[in-house]
Amino acid sequence: MIEVDLVKEAVRQRKARSETFLGFEYLRFSDDFKDIPRGTAIFQDTVIWGYPHIGRIFILERGLKEQFKNPFWVEEKVDGYNVRVFKVGDRVIALSRGGYICPFTTDRLPDFIDLKFFEDNPDLILCAEVAGPENPYIEESPPFVEEDVRFFVFDIMRKNEQGFLSQEDKLRLIENYSLPSVEVFGKFQREDVGELKELLLRLNEEGREGVVFKEESEENRRAKYITSYANLSDIKVTTKNMLQLPPEYYTNRVLRLVLFMEEEGIERTEHLYEELGRAFIDGLFEAIEQFKREHKVYRTFRCRFRSRDNAVALMELLHRTSRHIQVIERELKQEGDYWILTFDKVFLNMTGLLGHLLSGGLVFD
Amino acid sequence: MIEVDLVKEAVRQRKARSETFLGFEYLRFSDDFKDIPRGTAIFQDTVIWGYPHIGRIFILERGLKEQFKNPFWVEEKVDGYNVRVFKVGDRVIALSRGGYICPFTTDRLPDFIDLKFFEDNPDLILCAEVAGPENPYIEESPPFVEEDVRFFVFDIMRKNEQGFLSQEDKLRLIENYSLPSVEVFGKFQREDVGELKELLLRLNEEGREGVVFKEESEENRRAKYITSYANLSDIKVTTKNMLQLPPEYYTNRVLRLVLFMEEEGIERTEHLYEELGRAFIDGLFEAIEQFKREHKVYRTFRCRFRSRDNAVALMELLHRTSRHIQVIERELKQEGDYWILTFDKVFLNMTGLLGHLLSGGLVFD
C-alpha cells in the first residue's frame, strides 16, 4: 500500500492527479515520485503499481557478468506500447504506461485474450505489449505483425503489490489460459554469452527489437538489450518529426548501434552506412515534401474498434494529452464487425520550423 | 562607448569579468548582455566590440528575397576560428570570439600579415578566420589549407564602434597592405539566385563551408548559408567526442543537409546516404577502439609557435578554459624556426561513458 500522507504530498507537488475517464475516477501518478513509478494508479483502495524502469546494458558480455549472479530468463522485447490489464468492479480495463485508461486497448481486449482469466484471477494484472501497424500511439511496428495489432503478455503482477509473479507461475497461467505472450528463449547463465550473441544476431537479422533478461532470484534483477536493427528503425521512423523527440534520442541510438556492431563483430559495410544515412534523411525529405504540398507535416493513424464509443473516447484522450501535436479526426466508419477510426497527428514543431525556414527565415544558433 | 553603470551591472550578474593574461588586464564579456555581444572586451578606455551573431538562412531563394532589399556582397565563409586583431599600446594582439587573448594567433601574426597595417591604422581591428590542420582549437580544417594554418581577413572594425568599415574601404585596405582575405565572389542581387545556387554547388563540391551575404546599405544586413559538405564534415569530425556537443548540434546539421540537398536538387544517392552514415559511425568506432587500447578517448593537436613563451601561455589558457576536457602536454620542441607544441585533449564525458558502458554498466533512459 501507499501511505495516505505520501499520496497527499504527491498531489500537492503535482506528481499525482485525479482522473475521470470512461466512468472511472482514480488517482494517477504523472511522474516518478520517491519510490512510486510514473503510471502508478489508485482505484479506491486498490493500487496498480506502475511498470518499473528496466536498465539497459550496451555490452552483452560484460553487462551480463556485471548485472547477474544467478541464472536468468531471456524473453523477447516487442516493439509496441506497454499496458497493464486488470479487473475493476465488473469491467476489465487497460492502463497505458503513463497510467491513462486506454480506450483502444480496453476495447480490443476480448480480441486478444479470454477474459475468463480475470474472473478466475481478479487480483492479477497482465503486463503486455501491444504492437502492430494499426495502433494509435507509436509509428513503429514489428515486422511479424502485418496488420492490426497483437497482444503479448510478458509479466504478471498482483494488485497492491510491487514486483512480479515468478516465471514459473507466469508461464503456467499463460499456458492454462492460452494467453498470447512474448517468445521465451529459455533460461541462461552469464557464461552462455556466446549462445546469446548468436541469438541477438538472429533477432537483429529478423528485425526484432531485442531481449529482456530476468534473473531467477529473490531480487529478480532485470536488464534489456536492444538490436542495432531496432536502433536504426527508431531513427528511421521518427525523423519526419525530429523536433518532437529530445535530440539525444538520436545521438543515443547512434551510439548504441555502434556498440552493438562492435560487440557482435558486424562489419562496417557500405550498406550499413547507407542504412543509417537513409534513416536520417528520408523522413526529413518526406516532411519537407509534405509541407510543400499541404503546409503541414503529419502522419495518418488508423485503428479498429469493436465499439464506436471507445473510438470517440480515444480521440478525446488524444486531444487532451497530446503536446505539440494537433490531432485531427479524418473518418470513423463501420467496416464488417469493426469501427475503423482514421486520424492525423500534425507535428506542430516541425510544421512551424519548416514554415519559418522555407519562407526564408533567419535562424541564430 | 558602453555606459559605466551597464558594465557594473554586467559584472554583478557575472556576464563580464576581469582577465589578466600576457601582461594585459581587461574586462571580458563572457556572455551576451543586453546589446553587448559575448566576447566584447574593454582595455582601459577602449572597447573592442564582440563579433556579432550572423543569422543563417536555410533556403537560398526565399531567404535572399526575405532578408535583402538591396544588392549584397557574397564572400566565402572559411571553416576556422574567429579572431579580432588590433593594437594595444605597442603590441598587436588577437582576441578569440569569446574575448580571450589567443597566445597562438598573437604569436603567429607576423607570419600572416604586415604589422605596418597597425602602425598606420592604430584604431582599426582586423576580423579574420584562422583555419588549417595545425590550430589548437577546432578539429576541422578546410581542404585548401594543407598544413599549418592560414589567416583570412573578412571584416574591418574600428575601436569603440560597432559595425564594420564599408566593403569599399575594406577591400582598399586589404589591397594596399596585401592582407590575406577570404574570397570575395562579387556583388549580387536577390534576383541572381540561379547564379548563386551554381556557386554554392561548386563550393560544396570543393569541400568549402559556405558564404556570408553582406548587404550594401546603411543597415548592412547579413546572413550566412552553409553547404551540405560542411554539415557532413561537422558531424564526421566531432562524433568521436559526441557528448561534448549539445545533441541538437547533430540533428540541426542533418536537417540543414537535407534542406541544402532539397533546394540544390541534389539526388538522394546511395553514396550520399553512405556518407552521412559514415560520418556518424566512424568517429564512434574510433572512440571505442581508442578507449579499449588506451582507456581514454582523446585527440592530439599540434601547432607551431615563433616563441616558446606563447606555447606555454596557450597551454595555460587551455587548462584554465577547457570544460569536460583534460589537456595534456605531450611535447614542446624546437624545429627550425618554430617551436612545435603537441598536446592531447582527453574527452572526459566520452571516456566516462564508454568506461561505464564497456564495463557492463546499466543505463536508465
Counting Cβ atoms within 10 Å, is residue B329 exposed (0-12), middle (13-18) or buried (19+)?
A: middle
In this prediction, residue B264 carries a pLDDT of: 86
Give the integer Cα–Cα distance in Å for A200 and A196: 6
Q: A303: Cβ–Cβ under 8 A, 6 or more apart, which residues?
A: A104, A134, A135, A136, A149, A314, A340, A341
The answer to ipTM > 0.95 is no
What single-letter DSSP state applies at residue B56? E
In what side-by-side order are the strands of the sheet with B72-77?
A: A362-363, B56-57, B222-226, B210-215, B72-77, B184-188
Which of B56, B280, B362 is the closest to A223 by Cβ? B362
pLDDT surpasses 80 at A365: no
pLDDT of A1 strictly over 80 = no
Q: Which of A59, A261, A363 sits opposite B357 (nearest CB)?
A: A59
Window 28-67 of B: residues touching A by CB (8 A cutoff) are: 53, 55-59, 61-67
Which chain A residue lies closest to B252 (C-alpha atoms)? A247
Inter-chain touch A57–B362, beta carbons under 8 Å: yes
Residues of chain A above pLDDT 90, percent? 90
Q: Tell me if chain A has a CB within 8 Å of the CB of B223.
A: yes
Pairwise CB contact (< 8 Å): B360 & A64 = yes
Task: For residues A294-308, give the mean pLDDT.
Answer: 97
Whether A27 shows a pLDDT value over 80: the answer reads yes
What's the pLDDT at A264? 86
- Whose grid coordinates read 551575404? B213
Weakest mean pLDDT among A181-195, A339-353, B85-99, B265-279: B265-279
Ordered by where they begin, the domains of chain B are: 295-359 (3.30.70.2160)
Supply the pLDDT for residue A322: 92
**CA atoms of A219 and B157, how far apart (whole Å):** 68
**Hey, are the CB atoms on B276 and A275 less than 8 Å from each other?**
no
Q: Give which of A259, A49, A235 is closest to A159, Cα–Cα.
A: A49
- Closest by CA to A146, choosing from A134, A163, A158, A130, is A134
Cα separation of A234 and A275, whole Å?
12
Mean pLDDT of chain A: 95
How far is B337 from chain A, CA to nearest CA, in Å?
Answer: 40
Distance linking the first and last C-alpha atoms of chain A: 50
Chain B residues touching A357 at Cβ < 8 A? 58-59, 259
Where is average pLDDT lowest: A208-212, A250-254, A294-298?
A250-254
CA distances in angstroms from A230 to A120, A154, A166, A207, listed in the order given: 37, 19, 28, 7
Task: Please spell the DSSP secondary structure of A101-125, one letter per residue.
Answer: B-HHHHHHHHHHS-THHHHH-TTEE
The stretch A209-226 carries a mean pLDDT of 95
Distance CA A163, CA B295 (A): 38
Surface-to-core class of residue A202, CB atoms within 10 Å of its CB (0-12 exposed, 13-18 middle, 19+ buried): exposed
Burial letters A311-327, b for 16+ CB under 10 A, else e = bbbbbebbeeeeeebeb
pLDDT tens, position by position, A98-136? 999 999 999 999 999 999 999 999 999 999 999 999 999
What is the longest distance spanned by two Cα atoms in chain B?
Answer: 64
Instruction: Supply the pLDDT for residue B244.
Output: 85
Cβ of A59 and B360 within 8 Å?
yes
Residue A269 has pLDDT above 80, yes or no: yes
Spatial distance between the Cα atoms of A80 and A150, rounded to a whole number of angstroms = 9
Q: Any CB–CB contact under 8 A between A357 and chain B?
A: yes
CB < 8 Å from A in window 244-263 of B:
246-248, 250-252, 254-255, 257-259, 261-262
Length reported for chain B: 365
Nearest CA of chain A to the CA of B222: how many Å?
10
Yes or no: say if A258 and B240 are a contact pair by the CB < 8 Å rule.
Answer: no
A–B CB contacts, 8 A cutoff, strictly below: 159
Strand partners, A48: A41
A34 Ramachandran zone, left/alpha/beta (phi>0; psi -120 to 50): left
Helix (H/G/I), strand (E/B), else coil: A250: helix
Q: Which of residues 265-294 of A touch B (CB under 8 A)?
A: 268, 270, 272-278, 280-282, 284-285, 288
Nearest Cα of chain B lies from the Cα of A336 at a distance, in angstroms, of 42
Please list, in sequence order, all residues whose beta carbon lies within 8 angstroms of the beta carbon of residue A256, skipping any fewer than 6 positions away.
A58, A226, A228, A231
Q: What is the pLDDT of residues B50-80, one digit of tens each?
A: 999 999 999 999 999 999 999 999 999 999 9
pLDDT at A143 > cutoff 90? yes
Cα–chain center distance at B270? 32
Residues of chain B below pLDDT 70: none
Grid cell 556485471 — which residue?
A: A66
